[in-house]
Structure 1
Amino acid sequence: MNLRQLRYFLAIVDHGGVHRAAEALHIAQSSLSQTMRALERDLGTQLFHRIGRGIVLAPAGEGLVGPARSILREVDNAERAVTEIAALRGGSIDVASLSDLAIDPVSTWIANFLMAYPGVQCRVEEGDDLSAVTEKVRTGSSELGFVSMPALGDLECDELVEQIFVLICPPGSEDRWPNPVPISSLRNESFVLAQQGTGTREYMEQILREHGVEPRIAVEIRQREAILPLVLSGCAVGIVPLRVAVSFWQRGGVVRELDPVPATKIYAVYRQGKLTSAASAFLAAARSSLDLWVRALEMADDAETPLIERAAAALEAWDHRLRS
């Protein structure tokens, strides 16, 4: 029994006879009849009763209809999936991201995606705020957007992960800082903060002011990655995501948890309707990357070990598993 025989069998069932089925299949009636006789020989049973010039289903034929439809449906689904994956050997995907998220984690997700689909080109546009990113998605300039607050209106919005922030301090200042550091105790500190108008800057100012801290700005800078060397130089303190803080700690900086813990959520936004196969694959790669990170962090969980050390161990394990 083969797929062609099953398709011919269902064509006879659906069209009510061999003649009409042969016309629909664009084959000779004799060829269709011969194929059905071969199928009956293979199965060792009669599928149709021949009555005059017509046919009706035999009990065995009635029993075959459901399984035959199921088999062909699964084959069609498999072929469609393979075609979509094959389409990802080339082409491109356009992604929009808040500037604060473009370095991490979005760049990590891109790397994960390109490891699986090296032939696809990724283009990333940055936006300073939610409206800038969502407008790129709304107009079709980008298919996916990544933001740190839920989008409103006509866009779909999927929550991906919660991002924890920590305090980074100059090297050699370990004795100055308890762990965790109460946010309210930062009143007299100078900060390196992201540029005014970015989502992270607005969130940091909000958190500090809620705890009675009016931030004193030593340096205001557009590129978040430049915060690390500035704090390493000793000019001020900063507040960055936990994953970003790992590289700072590995370079000799001091990292402390904050109390209460500042955290934001990262969302994927896209237009309503079915995503392209490339966009679906990109989201799957992002979720896979996040799942590996969360599981690695959970495996490294030890209440007696500082969070930054656990995060460093988790990041190393995550990187190893991602590349294996």
Structure 2
Amino acid sequence: MELRQLRYFVAIVDHGSLSRAALILHVAQPALTQQLRQLEEELGVQLLHRTAQGVLSTDAGKVFYEHAQAILKQVADARSAVAQSAERPSGSVTLGLPHSISGALALPLLTATRSQYPEITLQLTEELTGNLSEQLKSGRVNLAIQFDDGQLNQFATTPLAEEELHFICRADATYAKSEQSLTLQQALNTTLILPGLQHGVRPRIEAVAREAGLSLSNVIEINSIAILKSALLADMGATILPSAPVLDELQRGELRAQRIHSPSISRTVVLCASRNIPLTNAAAAITRLVRQISDGLCAEGKWPGATPI
């Protein structure tokens, strides 16, 4: 198996046809077809379905595509690490962000990177937290922001902030209390709109409720922040989230946030890197910059409910 075969395969999948991939790669289509055939013979599986409209990945092809992307990225990172200078880090860095964090961090981080490290290309990918660990382990992302649930020992971690979770509902909802806070029991007694069990705030809420002898009984599961906000505005229920993802709606008075007590709920936000894949100088520079931006947003009150660690 050769790196060029991986590049060819990824290009074919990305462009959806052998002819388009051949044009992009500047390779004759028969040669491209031959390399693909050799790759399939070596793996002993069919990677692509050929159709009149182009090509589609088989189940095996979808799995191999993810690995091929990760391998090609690590090769590019290795080349960049050898070539770049510690004083002027350059190259590409991919950072994975959970949906509920990107609203606070993404734009300030992109702006700071362009200003301080113009030779670094920062690629941000927004994902569910349950998917970020696998991408980090496989090398598809260099860094990922996650929430410390006691299961991150396999990664090198840099604590960033402690983020408080609030009870959030439509401003005129019948269960929107006039008080500024409510108990966790009161919050759990409402219909809650939350991510699935392996994503976002859900594991932390489940853990705190369990420790308090409480349980979640009526939950609507939605894994998209955009759809979750729409459900809140439609008064389908309330949620337990940090304020940052719904800050615009809170400021417009469409949603209302209340503090939770007895007990309160917070989560520890950390920056993770692989223990097995060395960081390039560029990735190390972005690690420092993420910490700097995080501290600044907390100090300026631009990351509501977050306290720097």
Report TM bin, short chain: 0.5 to 0.7
Instruction: Give unpaired runs (5+ residues) of structure 2.
Output: 1-83
Partner of 1:170: 170
Could you list the per-position Cα deviations for residues 143-184 of structure 1 after superposition, in whole angstroms to 9, with x for gaps in the alignment?
Answer: 212210255455322211111111112122496342211111
Q: 5 Å matches for 1:45-194?
A: 83-88=85-90, 91-106=91-106, 108-118=108-118, 120-125=120-125, 128-129=128-129, 132-149=131-148, 150-173=150-173, 176-194=177-195
Structure 1 residues without counterparts, runs of 5 or longer: 1-81, 301-309, 315-324
Distance 2:195 2:161 in 1: 21
Other-structure match for 2:27: none
- Report the CA distance between 1:201 and its aligned residue: 1.8
Stretch of structure 1 that moved more, 112-121 or 245-254: 112-121
Q: Is the 8 A contact 2:92 2:122 kept in 1?
A: yes
- Alignment correspondent of 1:212: 214
Say which SS state the counterpart of residue 294 (structure 1) adopts. Answer: helix
Q: Partner of 1:172: helix, strand, or coil?
A: coil
- Correspondence 1:282 to 2:286: yes
Deviation at 1:191, TM superposition (A): 1.4
CA drift at 1:269: 1.8
Cα separation, 2, equivalents of 1:120 and 1:295: 26
- Please state how far the C-alpha of 1:115 moved relative to its aligned partner: 4.3
Residue type of the alignment partner of 1:156: A
- Aligned-partner SS, 1:235: coil
SS at match of 1:286: helix
2:265 corresponds to which of 262, 266, 273: 262
- Between structure 1 and structure 2, the one with the greater Rg is 1
Question: How far off its partner does 1:123 sit?
Answer: 3.0
What's the C-alpha RMSD, in Å, of the aligned pairs?
3.3
Matches of 1:148 and 1:236, distance apart in 2: 25
Q: Deviations for 1:195-245, whole angstroms, at most 9, x for unmatched residues?
A: 34214222223334535242312x321212432232122221111113234
2:108 & 2:93 partners in 1: Cα distance?
15
Given that 1:151 and 1:269 are in contact with CA atoms closer than 8 Å, whether structure 2 keeps it comes out as no
Report the residue type matching 1:158 in the other structure: T
Of the structure 1 ranges 238-247 and 208-217, higher mean CA displacement relative to structure 2 is found in: 208-217
Could you report, residue by residue, the CA deviation over 1:267-305 in whole angstroms, capped at 9, with x for unpaired residues?
Answer: 1222348632211221222112111122223xx9xxxxx
1:121 Cα deviation after fit: 2.9
Q: Which residue of 1 aligns with 2:222?
A: 221
Match of 2:76 in 1: none
Structure having the larger proportion of residues in helix: 1
Instruction: Provide the C-alpha distance between the structure 2 equivalents of 1:235 and 1:157, rounded to a whole number of angstroms.
Output: 37
Distance 1:213 1:134, change over 3 A: closer
Question: Which residue of structure 2 lines up, in the alignment, with residue 59 of structure 1?
Answer: none
* Cα distance in 1 between the residues matched to 2:304 and 2:269: 19
How far did residue 127 of structure 1 move? 5.3
Q: Is the 8 A contact 2:88 2:119 kept in 1?
A: no
How far the C-alpha of 1:263 sits from its partner, in A, is: 0.7
Residue 88 of structure 2 aligns to a residue whose secondary structure is helix
**Is the CA contact 2:89–2:285 (under 8 Å) kept in the aligned structure 1?**
no
**CA distance in structure 1 between the aligned counterparts of 2:97 and 2:293, rounded to whole angstroms:** 17
Letter of the 2:296 counterpart: L
